[in-house]
Structure 1
Amino acid sequence: MGYLDARPACPYTDVLTIGRRATMAGHLVVIGGVAAGPKLAAKARRDDPELEITLVTAEGMISYAGCGTPYYLGGTFRDRDKLIVREVDDFGKKNRVTMLTEHRATSIDRAAKTVEVVDLKTDEVKTLEYTKLAICTGASSFVPPLEGLPAEGVFALRTVTDALAIDDYLNSQNGRRVVVVGGGYIGLELAEQFHQRQLEVTVVELAPQVMPRFDTTVALAVRRELESMGIEVLLETRVTGVEADHRGRVTGVRTSQGLLAADLVILAIGVRPNTQLAADAGLTLGRSGAIATDPTMRTSDPDIYAAGDCAECLDRVTGQPTWVPLGSTANKMGRTAAINICGGHDEFPGIVGTSLVRVGTLNVGGTGQTQAQLEAAGYQFDSVLIPAAERPTYMPGTGEVTLILHAEHGSRRVLGAQAYGTGAVDKRIDVIATALSAGMTVDDLAQLDLGYAPPFAPAMDVVITAANVLRHKLDGTTKSVMPEALRDELAEGTRIQLIDVRELDEWQQGRLAGAQLVPLGTLPDHCDNLEDCQIVVYCARGGRAASAFRVIRRAGHENVCYLEGGTTAWTGDLEK
């Protein structure tokens, strides 16, 4: 591979210089071997067959399926080899990349254009010269300084090695009680999978809701799903330490609500970008703490690029820098960096923050900004919540999708969406992610020519329906209230007349406490008897209530609105 001191019998000396070669292509050093690093190296090889490439990673494996580890632990699949996407030797040979696995990059000398690495097996120090350098160091699990750590049986999950260690520990113990600290994506995936493994699971979350990055309505639906599965959920609960027996094995978790017995503890509190190497080299870090890059993935040093979970990028909705570590984003960043390193031109435009997770029978997804994020940023916007069948209801196995859609006043630009249900949430979220990337308005969204056939989708998909309803709200022709907002108003004692416009049989199955039954067909005859206060009308999903809103408004009542999502999306108890 063009080593200066190329001696096949003994290719490394105490300090090895790599990278000086006669060709003009130069030497690319890639630090990191999970997603962005291998993607970058493979693309660079395709774009420049003459380029010398060396990949450095502290781990013994590359390109593993980190996002699949919860499903391995839960028994969805049990073949450990399936977690390895590419074997080290195979990748190196096919792409003609020198693979320095189990080597840690310890420093970068930007002036000399060298990287110092240490062989973790022998402690041998090696120096690599580079023409271009790519930092793809990823992110690491955040482990707080809890009292009682370290303790056997307390793990964080980030790598395949972590997953195998957790699996081996479970297989060697008789314990059945698992405490998952953190109610985000990884924590809930693990909770679901440990439950599938017939273990007793408790989720502990510091925030007032699980899935803090989602709107409250979605989080409440997810919490109900967890509890229906038998998973205990403790919110607004702080973990203060762990307890262990005389062997050093964990026996419990100390929290602000008391001691939780535990045979296994998973810390799923989040991750932090691995930026120490870059920071020590004087590279600029962004506001998020990740490495600042331009759209070509170049850092503050023109010969150094960054990609993957260690790199910051642009939020295409807000126009502000952001950091959202995802394997899909890492691969796109790596590809862009490789194209530019090899003399081409490509730009990574940023992300809209699209994510998916499954919890029990619920599929959950989001893209763009949440209600809380929009409020914090000062946006003027409206929202709708639409429950709908994913296909015509006569089709067997049809699931439900509840969609929340946000759009800006004035510009009418789509700002974000979230969805949950037993149906195909991913399809709807991906459509709206595309709309966000294109800067589309709700008017554009409502006119999309989406595919229709009964086995796949209804004639009016929930995306189209939500866009149309939101157009009415932005136009001022309708007025509605989100479930959590109404729940809060009722809890505060606000005087509200609740009108249920469903039929008697629906009413008898469950209704909002204190509601009056006035079926939609009879509503015009009762408008003169409505109270002089705020009126909220509701039905099962929202369609009839929207019609009732117009009837009451035409009768001269101005202080009226309808409940988004009706009883289907109501997050409180129903009275019978």
Structure 2
Amino acid sequence: MPQNIVVIGAVALGPKAACRFKRLCPEDNVIMLDQSDRISYGGCGIPYYVSGEVNNLEELQMTPYHTIRDADFFRVNKDVKVLSRTKAESIDRQNKKVRIKNLITGETSELPYDKLVLAMGSSPNRPPIEGLDLEGVHTCTTLEDAKAIREAVAGGSVNGAVVVGGGFIGLEVAVSMADMWGIKTSVVEIADQVLPGFLGKTMVKIATNDLIKNDVDVFTNEKVVRIEGENGKVARIVTDKRTIEAELVVMAAGIRPNSELARDAGLDVNERGAIVVNDRMQTSDPDIYAGGDCVTVPNLVTGKPGFYPLGSMANRQGRVIGTNLAGGDARFPGGVGTWCVKLFEQNAAGAGLTLEAALREGFDAVNVHVEGFDRAHFYPEHTVMALDLVVERPTRRVLGIQGTSGLGDALVARINAVAPLLQSKPVLEDISNLEVAYSPPFASAMDIVNTVANVADNVLAGRNHALDPEEFAVLWANRNSGEYTFVDTRIAANAQALVEKYPGQWNCVPLEEMEQRINEIPSDKTVVLICNTGLRSYESQLIMNRHGRKSLSVQGGMASVLKQGGEV
């Protein structure tokens, strides 16, 4: 007798699970329902429709062969019945029925199921502030949101925009407004940085400076108090520190799992509200599966529950669910939180833990920062990429990696090389000896991903006494204290401008001359060594170590200082 499979939610995970199951069990029945007319779309592409890089909204619903994935598409091509504009109101687990409501007619009915899939996704947070209902205040998670924002900015009536929230969606929307439409844009983030929990303090300064350089105001540690309007339309946003004029406000202050249906049915949810599933993606009821933005899966670095609202993860989980609905035994062990985001000149990406997250989790961890070429230095086209590696001191275990680069594909290649290893608790040697493809147009013979592990090895061994760019900035700002001497180890021509600008404070002793001129450097002060990327200053530090001299080498060198907006 054919099975009846009911899938609640038809954006990412739902269609994947339904189609995978039908391929394996073509004689069984699948009904998929969703509250919207627009189904099976690439939600992560919404900011790029807002920007105009994606021309038509329908492109986000298309297959690679330019067919719209609507209800007729699933009926004809997949033999999956779709009930659009239909809401699941309750689940009767005992009798295995879902009570549904047609949102157009108001009619209610029941759908029997043998197996049920919960793919309800998430909803944007709506903080309890005045003015959320004003015209011109939007969220940015559905195609309807995207259409409304695009029409507003394309109409030419928006001179100022405020994005509330500095996460992935918030920054992507801010870049879209400022870069593609020339709108004066501000980002307001309640945390002390943008991309909180994803970028460490060194990398986040690079990302923030990239935004500021491109005329996006970034206000962190700031809370929205209210949104004010005139004649029913948004006019300004008021925070606890300032007032910002704006004709458009995008609320991107995080998301929450859509788990009310599951909780009301008595399924297990965690304190965040995410549905608890096992590695087969089964809920506490083995006949009900769930995945995507509404579930929690293990963080494979910490071993604790994680929350990963990513379209890529939802699709992989959907395949696992579809396989298991058909009687298979597919497993989804969890994730390490691999991500990437496109900014202006810079792009950012990462996987695993930042230093701050590692310390909160109780790891005795250290972060190392390097700047290096993404291709062979002699190849005509190359850029300087930044990588951070987070390492547990006692075990040398690698806990996370983050990076920024002007070339996003080159950066993502490095992050993707390390991310799959994190669940296996790799140590530094695994990254130092990681085999990556090499040819001068694509990488250096000693790739930067190997280099960052080698630098971490030197730091843990005590050979490299490192100073991160933020610490350097503090020391340089207090250079008149008399405790430190600043020595530029680049060739004289590269250092000359700063030597002339700061006579007696910025000194140049090139690496090639360090051994012979070391006595020119005061021995009663800590020496701060700096170069372009950190390599020459480290080599100089080795010389100073042999002479028993105390020194600090600036990680990432001038490349990182300047990317962060340093004033030297």
TM range (shorter): over 0.9
State the match for 2:318 in structure 1.
334
State the match for 2:374 in structure 1.
390
Map of 1:143-222 to 2, 5 A cutoff? 143-172=126-155, 174-195=157-178, 196-212=180-196, 213-222=198-207
Counterpart CA distance in 2 for 1:56 and 1:491 is 60
State the match for 1:245 in structure 2.
230
State the match for 1:324 in structure 2.
308
Q: Check the 8 A contact 1:523/1:548 in 2, yes or no.
A: yes
Give the drift of 1:307. Answer: 0.6
* 1:537 equivalenced with 2:537 (yes/no): no
Task: Give the unaligned 5+ runs of structure 1.
Answer: 1-22
Give the drift of 1:479. Answer: 2.4
State the SS of the aligned residue for 1:309: helix
State the SS of the aligned residue for 2:402: strand
* 1:115 equivalenced with 2:103 (yes/no): no
State the match for 1:96 in structure 2.
79
Give 2:82's aligned amino acid. M
Give the drift of 1:488. Answer: 4.5
Give 1:473's aligned amino acid. V
Q: Select the residue among 476, 485, 492 that pairs with 2:462.
A: 476
Q: Percent identity?
A: 35
Give the drift of 1:173. Answer: 5.5
Q: Check the 8 A contact 2:298/2:305 in 1, yes or no.
A: yes
Residues 515 and 509 (structure 1), Cα distance of their counterparts in 2 relative to 1, 3 Å cut: closer
Give the drift of 1:178. Answer: 1.1
Give the drift of 1:566. Answer: 0.8
* 1:436 equivalenced with 2:412 (yes/no): no
Counterpart CA distance in 1 for 2:454 and 2:135 is 55
* 1:462 equivalenced with 2:448 (yes/no): yes
Give 1:573's aligned amino acid. G
Give 1:234's aligned amino acid. F
Q: Select the residue among 23, 32, 45 that pairs with 1:46.
A: 23
Map of 1:274-353 to 2, 5 A cutoff? 274-353=258-337
Residues 448 and 175 (structure 1), Cα distance of their counterparts in 2 relative to 1, 3 Å cut: closer
Counterpart CA distance in 1 for 2:105 and 2:79 is 25
Map of 1:476-555 to 2, 5 A cutoff? 476-488=462-474, 495-510=483-498, 514-528=505-519, 529-555=521-547
Give the drift of 1:396. Answer: 3.4
Counterpart CA distance in 1 for 2:154 and 2:181 is 11
Range 163-172 or range 153-162, more displaced: 163-172
State the match for 2:65 in structure 1.
none
State the SS of the aligned residue for 2:294: coil
State the TM-score, normalized to the length of structure 2: 0.93
Residues 68 and 96 (structure 1), Cα distance of their counterparts in 2 relative to 1, 3 Å cut: same
Give the drift of 1:344. Answer: 0.7
Q: Check the 8 A contact 2:473/2:566 in 1, yes or no.
A: no
Residues 551 and 394 (structure 1), Cα distance of their counterparts in 2 relative to 1, 3 Å cut: closer
Deviations 1:35-62 (A, max 9, x none): 0110010111112122211111111121
Give the drift of 1:264. Answer: 0.7
State the SS of the aligned residue for 1:460: coil
Counterpart CA distance in 1 for 2:484 and 2:565 is 16
Q: Select the residue among 203, 208, 211 that pairs with 1:226.
A: 211
Range 169-178 or range 486-495, more displaced: 486-495
* 1:82 equivalenced with 2:65 (yes/no): no
Range 205-214 or range 300-309, more displaced: 205-214
State the SS of the aligned residue for 2:401: strand
Q: Check the 8 A contact 1:497/1:531 in 2, yes or no.
A: no
Residues 275 and 495 (structure 1), Cα distance of their counterparts in 2 relative to 1, 3 Å cut: farther
Give the drift of 1:539. Answer: 1.2
State the match for 2:108 in structure 1.
125
Give the drift of 1:389. Answer: 1.5
State the TM-score, normalized to the length of structure 1: 0.91
Give the drift of 1:467. Answer: 1.5
**Count of aligned pairs:** 550
State the SS of the aligned residue for 2:138: strand
Q: Check the 8 A contact 2:165/2:251 in 1, yes or no.
A: yes
Counterpart CA distance in 2 for 1:175 and 1:574 is 34
Give 1:71's aligned amino acid. Y
Counterpart CA distance in 2 for 1:523 and 1:215 is 33
Q: Select the residue among 367, 372, 375 that pairs with 2:356.
A: 372
Task: Give the unaligned 5+ runs of structure 2.
Answer: 63-68
Give 1:564's aligned amino acid. Q
Counterpart CA distance in 1 for 2:44 and 2:264 is 29
Counterpart CA distance in 2 for 1:560 and 1:289 is 50
Counterpart CA distance in 1 for 2:102 and 2:498 is 66
Residues 56 and 494 (structure 1), Cα distance of their counterparts in 2 relative to 1, 3 Å cut: farther
Give the drift of 1:175. Answer: 2.6
Counterpart CA distance in 1 for 2:368 and 2:467 is 9
Counterpart CA distance in 2 for 1:324 and 1:72 is 23
Give the drift of 1:334. Answer: 1.1
Deviations 1:292-348 (A, max 9, x none): 111111111111111111011011111111001000010111111121221110110
Give the drift of 1:357. Answer: 0.6
Give 2:374's aligned amino acid. E
Map of 1:379-418 to 2, 5 A cutoff? 379-418=363-402
